[in-house]
Amino acid sequence: MGTHKDGLQEENAKVLDIKELVGNGNKVTFDSYRQGHFYYNVPRLAVDEDDVFLDVYQFTVPIEDIGTATLLAEDKAITFMRWIRKAINEGTLIKLI
């Protein structure tokens, strides 16, 4: 089952540098499909003082944007930069963990 929350307000991502999400060979992973949207997760390594932890964010890719493209279960995050940036700008990038 998908990890997105149907209609629930989650803590939206704070101001993020997109390079933190798409750089260094980072990957996205397919989570689920629902009502015309593919849900993908993207990790971000975070450092807070002496602690290092992993944040995971979720964004959507509308089916009408896909055309004849092939979506993979795992792919380079840079390939999804358009939708990650859109989610950041629209405040729809959801922090899962």
Structurally, the chain folds into a number of domains equal to 1
The pLDDT tens digits for 26-76 are 999 999 999 999 999 999 987 777 888 889 999 999 999 999 999 999 999
Residue 49 inside a domain? The answer is: yes
pLDDT at 7: 40
Q: Is 28 helix (H, G, I), strand (E, B) or coil?
A: strand
The pLDDT tens digits for 7-29 are 433 444 446 789 999 998 999 99
Record the pTM: 0.80
Residue 46 inside a domain? The answer is: yes
Q: Which range marks the domain in which residue 26 is found? A: 18-95
- What does the DSSP 8-state code read for residue 70? -
Cα 93 to Cα 11: distance, rounded to the nearest angstrom: 9
Residue 40 inside a domain? The answer is: yes
Cα 34 to Cα 39: distance, rounded to the nearest angstrom: 8
